[in-house]
Amino acid sequence: MKFGTKAIHAGVEPDPHTGAIMTPIYQTSTYAQTSPGQHKGYEYSRTHNPTRTALQNSLAALEGGKHGLCFSSGLGAMDTLLKLFKPGDEIISTNDLYGGSYRIFKRVYEPFGLKFHFVPMQDMEAIRSRINANTRMIWVETPTNPLMNIIDIEACVKLAKEHNLLVAVDNTFCSPYLQTPLALGADIVMHSVTKYIGGHSDVVMGALVLNDDQLHERLMFLQNACGAVPGPQDCFLVLRGIKTLHIRMQRHCENGRKIAEYLSQHPKVGKVYWPGLPEHPNHAVAKKQMRDFGGMISFTLKGDVLEDAIGVLERFKYFTLAESLGGVESLCGHPASMTHASIPKEDREQAGLKDSLIRLSVGIEDIEDLLADLEQAIG
């Protein structure tokens, strides 16, 4: 199946009992057994739920993987993945990443004995220099949040295989429509399903997708044992959102391109961070591994004055000032005080994240209205 057909059909079958086209919401905590330990594949909804099973199968199909696992949030998915490791293990990550990822690495798992290295992962030698006998995983986020750096997944995989390391990719900014890391050799894909996959700003959820059977068994055990699972209502909403994923992503990309081009020519705009621009330093890598360039854009104003950036954010009408991204509506944000406030200021600035940076999640509204909103907000 092509992607659009997968989005509508993969992993989802009509209900065998009623013929319902849409997967029912199995709003139940437990299931009848004919004899102790004998059941129809479902015993307790923390372990398995038919609505969640359909969603996990759909996500696996979209990413080109064998196994999907859903969690109550993207950080819940990361938390489960990190439980694979033990004190003394080391993980290499990009130095430009989502603030919540940094927080769980540094403030939750580092006190338990894991060690994390944050490097500019566009440079393979920076990654190589941190690999030692204790290294267990390379954590890739591409495009990065919020500076839109592009990390070469295939190059990371090649380096990881030399040292028998896992490669996990946070694919949230792309969705499987734009990028499929498993096809590039990655071991695990993570999504904040809250974002583009759900697509309507009404669900909080995370997911892992992978191919390895043994690794899947271990993660499935942790999913059940630790219990950070989503409810069937949320799974139903995401299944509904997936059916329009390809159409939504096309419009996100179209609008994103026009807005990035507009910003790059605006006399008051300093720098535009969007991998589809030819002047982006990682544009060639983005062209190689992405289907299109997405609707996430960051930019600064000339002079890099914080108050000027705040003024723009306060004047927007259609770009709503809010956390999150990837919904049908356009959002704007101030990473330094919102999504990345948990990262110390000196670390943010070292990675290139200025206090004056503005991040846009470009929605699917009419582009003329969005451009007009930018014009009046920037002045």
Q: What is the set of active-site residues?
A: 46, 98, 170, 195
Asked if 121 contacts 128 with a C-beta cutoff of 8 angstroms, the reply is no
Asked if 60 contacts 209 with a C-beta cutoff of 8 angstroms, the reply is yes
Query: Using CA atoms, how far apart are residues 255 and 212, in angstroms rounded to an integer?
Result: 37
User: Quick count: other Cβ atoms within 10 Å of Cβ 362?
Assistant: 27
Asked if 68 contacts 60 with a C-beta cutoff of 8 angstroms, the reply is yes
Residue spans of alpha helices (H) in 232-340 = 232-242, 245-264, 283-289, 306-315
Number of helices (H) and strands (E), helices first, in the chain?
Answer: 14, 12
Sign, CA torsion 361/365/366/369:
negative
Residue 271 identity: K
- Taking the mean position of all CA atoms in its chain, how far away is CA 181? 12
How is residue 97 annotated by DSSP?
A: -
User: Quick count: other Cβ atoms within 10 Å of Cβ 333?
Assistant: 24
Residue spans of alpha helices (H) in 83-140 = 99-103, 124-128
Q: Of the candidates 253, 201, 239, which has an alpha carbon nearest to the alpha carbon of residue 61?
A: 239
Which structure tokens are listed for 301?
A: 């104003």
Pairing verdict, β 135-141 and 90-94 = parallel
- Site of tokens 């338990």: 112
Residue spans of alpha helices (H) in 243-366 = 245-264, 283-289, 306-315, 345-351
Query: Using CA atoms, how far apart are residues 102 and 81, in angstroms rounded to an integer?
Result: 15
Asked if 144 contacts 120 with a C-beta cutoff of 8 angstroms, the reply is no
Which structure tokens are listed for 345?
A: 């200021």
